[in-house]
C-alpha cells in the first residue's frame, strides 16, 4: 500500500489501524481529485490483511470546509457536465461507501457541505466542542449532495435532517453528540487520539466477523447512495446555473444573507 495518494497521507499504526490524513490544511477543501484519491486509498486498504480500521483525519484547523467555490477547476467541472450525465464527483463518492473497512472520522473544526457528507460517510465520528457541521446548500442556492439526503436521516432522523437541510443551520460538536451524529465528544486536542483508540477497539476483533456484521447493519447502503446522488446531481446541475446560486455563493463569501429572487 502506498504512503501517499495525492493529498492523502497514509500511516500504519499498531493494532491494524491505518490513518488517512487529508493534507490540504488549514481548510482541507475537497474536489473530485481528492475524493477519487481517497477512494483508491480505501480500495487498497480493503485488500490489505494488515489493515482492519481506518481513521479519516485532516491536518490544520478544519476537517473539511467543503468545496472551494473560488476554485477555477470547480467552475470548469460544473460547466462541462451534462444534464443527464452522472456527476463525476459523486461517482467517486459512491466508491467510498463501498469500502469494507470500518471508518472513524476525527472531526475538528468545520465539516461543511460536501465535507459534512464526507464526515457522515464514516461509520463513527469523534467530535469536539469547536466542531462545526452544516449542510448549508440552500444558503448557496442549490440542494444537498454527497448522498446526504439518504445518509443523514438514517443517523439523526428525518425531522432533524430536514431542519438542517431547510435552514442551512450550523450545529456544534456538543449538539452533534446530543443528536447521535457525533459518537464521542472530547476536547479538540484529543480528537485524533480518541478516534485512533476507537479504531483500535474495532480492529482488535475478528476481521471477518466485523466485516459481516457491518454489512448486515447497512445492507445496500452504497447502492442507495448511488440512487440518491443520481437525484442530487441532476437537481444540482440545474440549480447551479441559476441566478440564486450565483447570489448564494457571493452572499456566503461576503458573510451575509442571500438576496434570493427564485430565478
List, in sequence order, every beta strand (DSSP E) within the chain: 4-5, 8-12, 17-22, 53-58, 103-106, 110-112, 124-127, 132-134, 170-172, 184-185
Amino acid 130: pLDDT: 96
The confidence score (pLDDT) of residue 72 equals 52
In the 8-state DSSP scheme, what is residue 22? E
Q: Are strands 103-106 and 53-58 parallel, antiparallel or unpaired?
A: parallel
Report pLDDT for 80.
Answer: 54
Q: Tens digit of pLDDT for each residue in 95-109?
A: 999 999 999 999 999
Q: Each residue of 21-75: pLDDT tens digit?
A: 999 999 999 999 999 999 999 999 999 999 999 999 999 999 999 998 776 555 4
pLDDT of residue 77: 52
Predicted pLDDT at 83: 67
- Give the rounded percent of residues in the chain with a pLDDT score beyond 70: 94
User: What is the rounded average pLDDT of the residues 6-28?
Assistant: 96
Residue 68: what pLDDT?
87
For residues 108 and 61, the answer to whether their CB atoms sit within 8 Å is yes
Tell me the whole-structure pTM to 2 decimals.
Answer: 0.93
Whether pLDDT at 143 is above 80: yes
pLDDT at 14: 87
Residue 69's pLDDT is 78
Give percent of the chain above pLDDT 90. 89
Please indicate whether residue 79 or residue 64 has the higher confidence score (pLDDT).
Answer: 64
Architecture of domain 4-188+204-210: Alpha-Beta Complex (3.90)
**Range 184-216 burial, b when 16+ CB lie within 10 A, else e:** bbbeeeebbebbbbbbbebbeeebeebeeebee
In the prediction, which pLDDT does 71 show?
64
Separation between Cα atoms, residue 208 and residue 181, nearest integer Å: 27
**What average pLDDT score do residues 181-202 get?**
98
Domain ranges for the chain: 4-188+204-210
Set of cell numbers at residue 119 = 464526515
Q: What mean pLDDT is predicted for residues 190-212?
A: 98
Average pLDDT of the chain is 93
The pLDDT, as a whole number, for residue 256 is 93
Q: What pLDDT shows up at residue 1?
A: 66
Q: Are 41 and 20 in contact (CB under 8 A)?
A: yes
Question: pLDDT grade, residue 78 (50/70/90)?
Answer: low
Residue 179 has pLDDT above 90, yes or no: yes
Distances (CA, A) of 47 to 44, 50, 100: 5, 9, 9
Amino acid at each position: 500500500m502506498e504512503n501517499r495518494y495525492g493529498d492523502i497521507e497514509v500511516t500504519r499504526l499498531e493494532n491494524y489501524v491505518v490513518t488517512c490524513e487529508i493534507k490540504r490544511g488549514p481548510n482541507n477543501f475537497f474536489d473530485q481529485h481528492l475524493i477519487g484519491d481517497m477512494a483508491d486509498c480505501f480500495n487498497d486498504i480493503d485488500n490489505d490483511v494488515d489493515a482492519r480500521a481506518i481513521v479519516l483525519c485532516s491536518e490544520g484547523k478544519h476537517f473539511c470546509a467543503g468545496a472551494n467555490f473560488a476554485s477555477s477547476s470547480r467552475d470548469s467541472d460544473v460547466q462541462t457536465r451534462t444534464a443527464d450525465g452522472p456527476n463525476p464527483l459523486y461517482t467517486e463518492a459512491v466508491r467510498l461507501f463501498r469500502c469494507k473497512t470500518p471508518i472513524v472520522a476525527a472531526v475538528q473544526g468545520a465539516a461543511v457541505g460536501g465535507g459534512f457528507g464526507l464526515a457522515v460517510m464514516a461509520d463513527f465520528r469523534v467530535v469536539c466542542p469547536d466542531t462545526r457541521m452544516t449542510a448549508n446548500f440552500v444558503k448557496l442556492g442549490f440542494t444537498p449532495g454527497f448522498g446526504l439526503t439518504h445518509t443523514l436521516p438514517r443517523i439523526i432522523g428525518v425531522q432533524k435532517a430536514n431542519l438542517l437541510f431547510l435552514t442551512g443551520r450550523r450545529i456544534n460538536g456538543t449538539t452533534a453528540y446530543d443528536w447521535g451524529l457525533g459518537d464521542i465528544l472530547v476536547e479538540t486536542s484529543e480528537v485524533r487520539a480518541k478516534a485512533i483508540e476507537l479504531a483500535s477497539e474495532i480492529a482488535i476483533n475478528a476481521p471477518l466477523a466485523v466485516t459481516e456484521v457491518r454489512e448486515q447493519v447497512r445492507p445496500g447502503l452504497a447502492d442507495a447512495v448511488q440512487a440518491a446522488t443520481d437525484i442530487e446531481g441532476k437537481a444540482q446541475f440545474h440549480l447551479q446555473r441559476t441566478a440564486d446560486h450565483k447570489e448564494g455563493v457571493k452572499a456566503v463569501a461576503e458573510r451575509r444573507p442571500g438576496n434570493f429572487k427564485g430565478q
